[in-house]
């Protein structure tokens, strides 16, 4: 592994004041000091919490959605000289140890994009209904864009600098996860999944994509992306 490569952690955050500070502190304790927080128009103290932690903070005045927050954070990381960019959820569900698994294939030149899969782990602890919803979106993503992944909605991903510069994010909300997979296919980027663990708490389960309606909304937007390209 090339330890000289500059790794940035990008954290999109919307109303995460109760968990964000803890997540940043854990990252710093493990030596991840290049951290970008994108505050997505939070109504609580998320912005103030991020500023207290002495990290790079980008503030979206209004809630613009996960897609806009990720696009902002990834672009900011590139502008700040990142060689590798890792996206990391603010709700505390990701294990810090899994970042090395994400970074390794990129730093060794094996992959351009790495996605952490919660469903490749032997001890799958994803709640049943969430697993069903995820599987449905995996299938729709495959049908529309022709690339199969076991966890299309994972928030823990890694990009090489080259991949980050090539991938175009046009969607604004949760459908961005599948749009990134579409971009991997269209830009002919080398891709790998690695198994990761997830810390499910009552708090983390309240976040992310939970409702059946939300899942259908994502499917609808993916069809629009397929038809119109954006």
Domains of the chain: 7-228 (3.90.550.10)
Token digits of residue 18:
């109760």
Assessment of whether the complete model's pTM goes beyond 0.85: yes
pLDDT tens by residue, the chain, 230 residues? 666 899 999 999 999 999 999 999 999 999 999 999 999 999 999 999 999 999 999 999 999 999 999 999 999 999 999 999 999 999 999 999 999 999 999 999 999 999 999 988 766 667 767 788 888 999 999 999 999 999 999 999 999 999 999 999 999 999 999 999 999 999 999 999 999 998 766 655 566 555 556 777 787 778 888 777 66
């Amino acid at each position: 592994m090339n330890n000289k490569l500059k790794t940035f952690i990008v954290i999109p955050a919307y109303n995460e004041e109760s968990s964000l500070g803890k997540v940043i502190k854990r990252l710093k304790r493990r030596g991840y000091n290049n951290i970008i927080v994108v505050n997505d128009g939070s109504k609580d103290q998320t912005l103030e919490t991020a500023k207290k932690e002495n990290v790079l903070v980008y503030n979206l005045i209004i809630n613009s959605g996960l897609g806009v927050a990720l696009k902002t954070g990834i672009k900011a990381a590139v502008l700040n000289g990142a060689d590798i960019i890792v996206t990391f959820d603010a709700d505390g569900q990701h294990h810090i140890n899994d970042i090395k698994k994400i970074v390794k294939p990129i730093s060794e030149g094996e992959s351009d994009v790495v996605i952490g899969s919660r469903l490749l782990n032997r001890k799958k602890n994803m709640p049943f209904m969430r697993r069903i919803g995820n599987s449905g979106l995996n299938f729709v993503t495959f049908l529309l864009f022709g690339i199969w992944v076991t966890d299309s909605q994972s928030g823990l991903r890694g990009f090489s600098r080259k991949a980050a510069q090539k991938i175009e994010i046009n969607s604004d909300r949760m459908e961005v996860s599948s749009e990134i997979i579409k971009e991997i296919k269209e830009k002919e980027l080398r891709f790998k999944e690695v198994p990761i663990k997830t810390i499910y708490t009552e708090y983390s389960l309240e976040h992310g994509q939970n409702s059946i309606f939300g899942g259908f909304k994502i499917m609808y937007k993916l069809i629009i992306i397929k038809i119109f390209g954006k």
